[in-house]
């Protein structure tokens, strides 16, 4: 086998493996390097997303929602269920099966596309040489016309709450508890804290989420964040804002967390604690000092809008570069880079990357929110519509939340959508399509939406922007 490839990708997460597949589809000889190995010493493909991120978390969110529905929401449908039981090991086995089916699928795709998978840690050297160190410490040297860095991210640890993998865990540990904690503490009310807190709350844990910031979900539209906080409180999630964790004391049975809130010091005792305070790019030892690649002070690789680094022929995609740490953002960067390597002028519209919190109901957004538009001095209009007035939402007993659409007051072009409510992720995706096609609010107003569907809330919100909503009394929206 030659040690030279047209493209070498380092990291097999959703940014890296998607890039490798697209490169191979375009006829480029491609190698993909992955440092993690599975139980049978094969490269563990799929990165954070497939192994310890998006997929296992959604598997547990789905299982736990079914349990919560069965326990609490079937009676109102006239369905009685006796002796609902919970088998956590079985729930975990299902999750692991889904993960291995998907990672196996990636392996199959790589093989089918004739991508060379190399097992070991890759490091970029000067002149697009790549040093590969395998599990035994054996070193091999490869070279490429183009190198794509896609090494992803890892959980941030904070000094007051060191991870011990038992009482105090990160997101990975929180995906494999062997029993439901009676009292569960979560540090951080971000996406991951809310999702994992929800899983264990639905399964019966009393969950307290400690968040240092005074504002809940500050990156979200304020109205949607406020509405979400109300819904989560109603569900019993105890979210304490302005609560900065200062220390943790672990005993064999429990963990006591100290936190300050205003001028007061507090303690809470839990049987488990999840630390979900963010993620950081994994760029230590990824490239040598003379490789021409550099990072900012937080470790994010400097790239231009096309994900090209400062070193010719070296690219970086996914969680190690600026922008939201989201699987779909990384994958699309991977595709863009593959196309660029192949000579096409591909671009990515960063203005329309959706973000989703998979709580129940979901919270999702795309584009600008109201506070951003205000800060930018844009003259905008707002249309909101509550799910409580949607027939399908009533029929499904999913009446919490609303759809909000913001548009340019002059041109009518849609600038953003913000949803908390049933199927929020899929509804926001409709607006992603609309925004990508530069649609106006009027375009949505003129479209036919199936009845009864949750998406009628999108139609009504668009109508409401011009005081034309049908199933609600129209009032000024801002």
The whole-angstrom separation of Cα 142 and Cα 129 is 6
**Judged by CB under 6 A, which of 278, 299, 313, 452 binds ligand AMP?**
278
- Pick between residue 74 and residue 139 the one whose CB is nearest to ligand FAD: 139
The piece of 138-146, 187-195, 339-347, 421-429 that touches ligand AMP (CB under 6 A) is 187-195
The only residue of 109, 158, 352, 432 in contact with ligand AMP, by rule CB under 6 A: 158
What track of x and - describes contact with ligand FAD for positions 36 through 75 (by CB under 6 A)? x----------xxx---xx--x------------------
Contact window for ligand FAD (CB under 6 A) among 9-17, 106-114, 289-297, 359-367: 9-17
Of the candidate spans 56-64, 206-214, 373-381, 431-439, the one that interacts with ligand AMP by CB under 6 A turns out to be 206-214
Tell me if 190 contacts ligand FAD by CB under 6 A: no
Query: Using CA atoms, how far apart are residues 48 and 55, in angstroms rounded to an integer?
Result: 9
245 lines the binding site for ligand AMP (CB under 6 A)? yes
Contacted entry of ligand AMP, ligand FAD, none for residue 55, CB cut-off 5 to 8 Å set by kind: none
Which does residue 188 bind out of ligand AMP, ligand FAD, none, counting CB within 5 to 8 angstroms by kind?
Answer: ligand AMP
Neighbours of 438 (CB within 10 A): 10
**Least distance CB 171 / ligand AMP (angstroms):** 9
Complex with ligand AMP: residue 34 or 211, whichever CB lies closer = 211
Q: Which does 282 bind (CB under 5 to 8 A by kind): ligand AMP, ligand FAD, none?
A: ligand FAD
Give the C-alpha separation, 471 to 438, whole Å: 27
Cα 308 from Cα 179, distance rounded (Å) = 46
The answer to whether residues 145 and 8 touch, using CB atoms and an 8 Å cutoff, is no
- Is residue 192 within the footprint of ligand AMP (CB under 6 A)? yes
Residue 332 in the binding site for ligand FAD (CB under 6 A): no
Give the binding range for ligand FAD (CB under 6 A) out of 232-240, 323-331, 375-383, 412-420.
Answer: 323-331
Residue 151 interaction partner, one of ligand FAD, ligand AMP, none, beta carbon < 5-8 Å per kind: ligand FAD
Residue 451 bears catalytic tag: yes
CB 334 to ligand FAD: min, Å: 8
Q: Does 210 bind ligand AMP (CB under 6 A)?
A: yes
Token match 């939201």: residue? 324
Q: Is residue 240 part of the contact set for ligand AMP (CB under 6 A)? A: no
Q: Name the nearest CA neighbour of 331 among 22, 6, 44.
A: 22
Q: Which does 153 bind (CB under 5 to 8 A by kind): ligand FAD, ligand AMP, none?
A: ligand FAD
309 is an interface residue for ligand FAD by CB under 6 A: no
The item of ligand AMP, ligand FAD, none sharing an interface with residue 309, based on CB under 5 to 8 Å by kind, is none
HEC string of the chain equals CCCEEEEEEECCCHHHHHHHHHHHHCCCCEEEEECCECCCCCECCCHHHHHHCHHHHHHHHHHHHHHHHHHHCCHHHCCCCCCCCCCHHHHHHHHHHHHHHHHHHHHHHHHHCCCEEEECEEEECHHHEEEEECCCCCEEEEEEEEEEECCCEEECCCCCCCCCCCCEECHHHHCCCCCCCCEEEEECCCHHHHHHHHHHHHCCCEEEEEECCCCCCCCCCHHHHHHHHHHHHHCCCEEEECCEEEEEEECCCCEEEEEEECCEEEEEEECEEEECCCEEECCCCCECCCCCCCECCCCCECCCCCCECCCCCEEECHHHCCCCCCHHHHHHHHHHHHHHHCCCCCCCCHHHCCEEECCCCEEEEEECCHHHHHHCCCCEEEEEEEHHHCHHHHHHCCCCCEEEEEEECCCCEEEEEEEEECCHHHHHHHHHHHHHCCCEHHHHHHCCCCCCCCCHHHHHHHHHCCCCCCCCCCCCCC
Q: 61 or 469: whose CB is closer to ligand FAD?
A: 61
Q: Pick one of ligand FAD, ligand AMP, none as the site partner of residue 286 (Cβ within 5 to 8 A by kind).
A: ligand FAD
Q: Which does 121 bind (CB under 5 to 8 A by kind): ligand FAD, ligand AMP, none?
A: ligand FAD
Q: According to the binding rule CB under 6 A, does residue 171 interact with ligand FAD?
A: yes
Closest to 152 (Cα-Cα) out of 48, 17, 9: 48
Choose the catalytic residue: 4, 451, 459, 471: 451
197-236: contacts with ligand FAD (CB under 6 A): none
- List residues binding ligand AMP (CB under 6 A): 158, 160, 187-192, 210-213, 243-245, 276-278
- List residues binding ligand FAD (CB under 6 A): 10-16, 33-36, 47-49, 53-54, 57, 121-122, 150-153, 171, 192, 282, 286, 318-319, 325-328, 330, 358
Annotated catalytic residues are 451
């Amino acid at each position: 086998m030659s040690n030279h490839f047209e493209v070498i990708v380092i990291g097999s997460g959703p940014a890296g493996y998607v890039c490798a597949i697209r490169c191979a589809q375009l006829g480029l000889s491609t190698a993909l390097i992955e440092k993690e190995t599975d139980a049978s010493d094969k490269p563990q493909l799929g990165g954070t997303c497939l192994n310890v991120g998006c997929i296992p978390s959604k598997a547990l969110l789905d299982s736990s929602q079914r349990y919560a529905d069965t326990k609490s929401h079937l009676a109102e449908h006239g369905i009685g269920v006796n002796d609902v039981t919970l088998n956590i090991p079985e729930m975990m086995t299902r999750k692991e099966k889904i993960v291995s089916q998907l990672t196996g699928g990636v392996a199959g795709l790589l093989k089918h596309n004739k991508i060379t998978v190399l097992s070991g840690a890759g490091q970029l050297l000067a002149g697009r040489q790549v040093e590969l160190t395998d599990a035994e410490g054996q070193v091999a040297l490869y070279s490429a016309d183009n190198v794509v860095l896609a090494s992803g991210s890892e959980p941030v640890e904070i000094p007051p709450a060191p991870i011990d993998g038992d009482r105090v865990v990160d997101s990975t540990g929180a995906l494999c508890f062997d029993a439901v904690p009676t009292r569960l503490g979560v540090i951080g009310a971000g996406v991951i804290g809310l999702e994992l807190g929800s899983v264990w709350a639905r399964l019966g844990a009393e969950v307290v989420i400690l968040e240092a910031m005074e504002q809940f979900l500050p990156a979200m539209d304020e109205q949607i964040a406020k509405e979400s906080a109300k819904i989560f409180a109603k569900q019993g999630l105890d979210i304490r804002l302005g609560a900065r964790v200062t220390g943790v004391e672990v005993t064999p049975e429990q963990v006591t967390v100290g936190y300050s809130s205003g001028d007061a010091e507090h303690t809470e005792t839990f049987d488990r604690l999840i630390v979900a305070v963010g993620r950081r790019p994994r760029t230590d030892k990824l490239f040598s000092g003379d490789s021409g690649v550099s990072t900012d002070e937080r470790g994010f690789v400097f790239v231009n809008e096309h994900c090209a680094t400062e070193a010719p022929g070296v690219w970086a995609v996914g969680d190690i570069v600026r922008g939201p740490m989201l699987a779909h953002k990384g994958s699309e960067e991977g595709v863009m880079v593959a196309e660029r390597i192949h000579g096409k002028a591909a671009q990515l519209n960063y203005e329309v990357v959706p973000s989703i919190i998979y709580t129940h109901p979901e919270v999702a957004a795309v584009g600008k929110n109201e506070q951003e538009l205000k800060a930018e001095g844009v003259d905008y209009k707002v249309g909101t519509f509550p799910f409580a007035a949607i027939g399908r939402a009533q029929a499904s007993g999913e009446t919490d939340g609303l759809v909000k659409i913001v548009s340019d007051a002059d041109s009518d072009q849609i600038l953003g959508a913000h949803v908390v409510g049933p199927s929020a992720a899929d509804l926001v995706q409709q607006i992603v399509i609309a925004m990508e096609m530069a649609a106006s609010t009027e375009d949505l107003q003129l479209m036919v939406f199936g009845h009864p569907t949750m998406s009628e809330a999108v139609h009504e919100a668009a109508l409401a922007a011009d005081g034309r909503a049908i199933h609600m009394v129209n009032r000024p929206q801002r």
